[in-house]
C-alpha cells in the first residue's frame, strides 16, 4: 500500500529527502482545458484571442513558463528546481475548447510533474484573467498529468483516458 511521502512518522509535514537519489533526466507533460463562452470566442483571430490587454495565448504562455519556474516557491513541500526546458502550447480544439499543454524537463533527483501542472494551471488562469472582461462564464475544466518519465515510476495516460 502506498504511503504519503510528505509526512514523517509522527504525521508532521516534511520535504522528501532526495539527497541519496541519482540524477536522471526527468520529463513531465500536463494539460489544462479551458471552456470559453461564445462572447469570448468571437474575439479569436489569427490563432489567438485579441484583447485590449494584448494577445491572450501569448501572454498565457509566458505566465505558464514563469509559474513553472516558481513552483517550489508556490507549493510548500516542492523542491526548488532548475528547469532545463519548459514549453507551453495552446490550441483551440475542434470542440472549441482551449487546450494547454505544458512540457517541463530537467536533470535532477526529483520529478517535474508539479512544474508541468503549475505551468498549465497558470496559463489557464491567465486566460481567465485576460478574458473575464468579456464573460465570467469561463470554466477551467480540467488540469491533469499526461506523462512523466525519469523517476522510479514512469507514467503515461492511455489515449482512451485523454
Whether pTM > 0.85 for this model: the answer is yes
Q: Per residue in 13-55, pLDDT tens?
A: 888 889 899 999 999 999 999 999 999 999 988 889 988 888 9
List domains and CATH numbers for the chain.
24-149 (3.30.70.640)
Active site residue 20: no
Q: Which of 20, 84, 129, 161 is catalytic?
A: 129
Q: Per residue in 114-135, pLDDT tens?
A: 999 999 999 999 999 999 999 9
Q: Are strands 48-51 and 97-108 parallel, antiparallel or unpaired?
A: unpaired
137, three cell numbers = 462564464
Q: Which residues, at least 6 apart from 130, have a Cβ–Cβ distance to it below 8 Å?
A: 49, 51, 53, 54, 56, 59, 60
Amino acid at each position: 500500500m502506498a504511503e504519503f511521502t510528505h509526512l514523517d512518522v509522527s504525521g508532521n509535514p516534511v520535504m522528501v529527502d532526495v539527497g541519496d537519489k541519482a540524477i536522471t533526466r526527468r520529463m513531465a507533460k500536463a494539460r489544462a482545458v479551458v471552456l470559453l463562452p461564445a462572447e469570448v470566442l468571437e474575439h479569436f483571430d489569427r490563432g489567438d484571442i485579441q484583447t485590449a490587454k494584448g494577445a491572450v495565448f501569448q501572454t498565457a504562455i509566458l505566465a505558464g513558463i514563469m509559474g513553472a519556474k516558481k513552483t517550489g516557491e508556490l507549493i510548500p513541500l516542492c523542491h526548488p528546481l532548475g528547469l532545463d526546458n519548459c514549453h507551453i502550447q495552446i490550441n483551440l480544439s475542434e470542440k472549441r475548447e482551449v487546450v494547454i499543454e505544458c512540457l517541463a524537463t530537467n536533470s535532477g533527483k526529483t520529478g517535474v510533474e508539479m512544474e508541468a501542472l503549475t505551468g498549465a494551471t497558470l496559463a489557464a488562469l491567465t486566460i481567465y484573467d485576460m478574458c473575464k472582461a468579456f464573460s465570467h462564464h469561463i470554466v477551467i475544466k480540467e488540469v491533469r498529468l499526461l506523462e512523466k518519465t525519469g523517476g522510479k515510476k514512469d507514467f503515461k495516460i492511455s489515449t482512451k483516458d485523454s
